[in-house]
Amino acid sequence: MSRAHAIVFGASSGIGRATVMALKERGHVVAGLARRPSDVADASFACDVTDDASVGAAVAGAQQAHGPPDVMVYAAGVGAMGRTLDVPASAAREVFEVNFWGMDRAVRAVLPGMMERRRGAVVLVSSIAALRPIPHEAFYAASKAAAARYFGCLAFEAASAGVRVQMLHVGFIDTGFAERAGWFGMAAPAHPASSKTAGDVGVAVCALLDAGAPSAVLGWRERAIALGDRVVPNLYDRWITFRGRRR
């Protein structure tokens, strides 16, 4: 992709921040949107994705600064983890408000202009939890699965207007996201060391934009799980259940 104006939601930390850096390294001009400022974007705009007016104002600000966006990356996200019935409804709703409805707000603010200009790409930073159940992540996984299905449906409509709608499914990345997520009814478990970093995700987002594929899974382990679920359904579920019983 030639020099583009990219808007990144969730640019203040972790994967979003790393994606800003990767896009800039490729020569793109990048606007970073989040409630906290982005210290790496070319321009930073305060944005709460749970608020229509805030999303509209931030996208308008980015557009004023650098022109209409060619790329939008949605990396804003929160989690409410733990024993499903111990997660308060308010925390569960907050997860959907950011991970699903915030994504919808961002799409509504950016996609119509792209479709009118018949160019652009929208990328969702998705999770392996969108593809399969993960213990103690019911609301997070449900929000990610809902967002992924929304993106899959939207991709057909956008394609007919010359716009790509793409997803990158990512496994555990040590950004502090899991620790920041609320844990209910249990302590946060120790996560195994991840072979991938936030920087790897940023590079993978750029590669996905170049490839133009509808979706990709980052990491050999995550690809093996996704493939295994198709070839031998429930095998990994049985392994998780077996492991859980031994603990």
Active site residues: 126, 140, 144
Under rule CB under 6 A, residue 19 binds ligand NAP: no
Residues 188-247 that bind ligand NAP (CB under 6 A): none
Whether the CB-CB separation of 15 and 170 falls below 8 Å is answered with: yes
HEC letters along 98-158: HHHHHHHHHHHHHHHHHHHHCCCEEEEEEEHHHCCCCCCCHHHHHHHHHHHHHHHHHHHHH
Indicate if the alpha-carbon torsion angle 87, 229, 173, 212 is positive or negative.
negative
Q: What is the largest CA-CA distance in the chain?
A: 57
Q: Which is nearer to ligand NAP, 122 or 170 (CB)?
A: 170
Q: Which is nearer to ligand NAP, 76 or 121 (CB)?
A: 76
Instruction: Report how far residue 226's alpha carbon sits from residue 8's, in angstroms, rounded to the nearest whole number.
Output: 27
Among 4, 30, 47, 167, binds ligand NAP (CB under 6 A): 47
Q: How far is the CB of 238 from ligand NAP (least distance, A)?
A: 23
Neighbours of 57 (CB within 10 A): 15
The phi and psi torsions of 49 (rounded to 5 degrees) equal: -70, -10
Q: How far is the CB of 81 from ligand NAP (least distance, A)?
A: 11
Q: How far is the CB of 245 from ligand NAP (least distance, A)?
A: 25
Whether the CB-CB separation of 137 and 158 falls below 8 Å is answered with: no
Residues 162-181 that bind ligand NAP (CB under 6 A): 170, 172-173, 175-177, 180
Among 4, 22, 31, 49, binds ligand NAP (CB under 6 A): 49
Residues 69-108 that bind ligand NAP (CB under 6 A): 75-78, 98
Q: How far is the CB of 155 from ligand NAP (least distance, A)?
A: 18
Residues lying near ligand NAP in the complex (CB under 6 A): 10, 12-16, 34-36, 47-50, 75-78, 98, 125, 127, 170, 172-173, 175-177, 180
